[in-house]
Structure 1
Amino acid sequence: MTMDPSSEVVSHSFSLRSIREPEKIIEEFFSFLESFDKKVVLAIDGFEKLASFREVDGLSALGKIIESHSSVRMIFSVCETQGSSIQFLEKHGVVFRSSGLIHLGPIEFSEYCSFARSKFQKAGKRISAEIFESIYSKFSGGTGPIQLVLNRLFAETPKNGSVTTEILDNVINSIVEEYSVFYKEALSGLSFNQKCLVFAVAKDGAVENPSSSEFVNRHSLASVSSVQSSARALLEQGIFYKDASGLRIDDDFFKEWLRKEYF
């Protein structure tokens, strides 16, 4: 583990999977952070992935040490697409004993639209509220895909020019094509019943009750029990996620690719 003296950026190169004594390593890591003269904030994204490590109990080891190193402030990011965040917090509550919970929803449309348009305008380019609304709506306010599309649109739009529907379509098609090799590989690794369920959810967009007879019969799926087991597996793999509107495909570009290739 090293720290760049000019930028004060800490670089590390260890994996809990390959550590025989995780408690010792984590303790040394926190002691190292506490040795800094400045306040340290440690942010861990995708924190739920630590729970999937079979070889070591990384969450338990981390939880025992956090409370004894109060000078290091922690930010845990738990992704709801991996399952129920409430169940995760209840199961691993020792780590979050003194934590406050904040739910981060999509950025409000009006704020996001103003932000995006101001960035284009500052560079002598234009993106209309209507174009931005179509992007925001298409990706349900998801920051990741929206930012990717906006970055590409910014690069493709000439100075003193405006984003057109044609430019937007070309950008989205280009992104889908870039990732197509990974999507083909992901699809090839699924069972027949899992593929059928992926196609069905991609067609509907969001499925409130995938176990309903109406949904199963309409898409000619094998059975309710088959759909339930396939849905569980696809949620664990991160291909599906579940929110208030129902079961969805996690990657919007994967959904676009499926619709382009198969529907």
Structure 2
Amino acid sequence: MTSSRPSSAWRPLVGAVAGTMICAGLAALTACSSPSSRFYTLGSSDAPTTAPTTAPTTARTASMPALLIEVPPVEVPPQIARTAFVVQTGANQVDVLEQTRWASLPADEIRHALSQELTRRLGTIDVFGTPHPEGVPVYRVTVSVQRFESWPGSHALIDAVWSVRALNTQTVLTCRSVVSEAVAGGNDALVAGHRLALDQVAAKIAAGVEALDASPDARTAPAAQGMTTTARARRAAASVPCPAD
């Protein structure tokens, strides 16, 4: 009678195959049990999550606003220029949360959030990278974030230097906004705190755009009154202060 047990010559091979299968099974279990990443965005949307079923969606074309803005890419500190969350754990120490991430790079998230809020507050559109008609004043908003700090259970802080330039006259208004929002524990609260802080920064920038737009020297071409562009820009900048806190 032949035995069904493997011969001694095959036993090492059978053991190796069994070991490989066990390791593969353990690896699969580990992968299934590893925490999934969570993604956050600083932008917001007022659009409904589902389309209405009672009527078809129609396209609308808005009329040209009284002024336009350009929001170019935003500068951020190198230590937060990654999609993973960077949270403060001390004055000189941070943690990088690889499983908690921004939907895009923080610079893109900040630019998108500011563009959304500015267009809403000013009733305008962001024409960065898009041709625009003559005769409509355009204001370029440049933002350099000096600090973007996330303190879990404490506060979210944004320190930004921003400028508004009237492209018609090259008049520039440069200001700085430092906003700190108290937050509860958890990453959801940190993201909400940064959104509130960015809304406040956007409010200051919008006020700067409106103040510059109200200045005759910022809207009028220099040739109209025989002044050079530099002279008019300096006079206009001196007459438009940064928005008060």
TM-score by length of 2: 0.19
Decide which structure has greater helix share.
1
TM-score by length of 1: 0.18
Say which structure, 1 or 2, has more relative contact order (CA 8 Å, 6+ apart). 2
Decide which structure has greater strand share.
2
Structure label with greater radius of gyration: 2
